[in-house]
Amino acid sequence: MPYASAVALTVQEISRSGKSVTEQMIAPTATHGNKFLNDGRTMLRIKNNSVGDITATIDVTQTVDGLAVTDRTVTVKATGDADGLDFLDIGPFPASYNQADGYVWVTFSAMTDVLMDAYRLPER
Give 95 or 20, the one with higher predicted confidence: 95
Taking alpha carbons only, the member of 9, 20, 17, 4 closest to residue 118 is 9
For 87-102, the pLDDT digits (tens) are 999 999 998 899 999 9
- Tally of domains in the chain: 1
CATH number at residue 27: 2.60.290
What's the CA gap between 48 and 6, in Å, rounded? 20
Say if 2 falls within a structural domain.
no
pLDDT band at 48 (very low <50, low <70, confident <90, very high): very high
Say if 1 falls within a structural domain.
no
pLDDT of residue 115: 94
Rounded to an integer, the average pLDDT of 36-59 is 95
Structural domain span for residue 69: 7-120
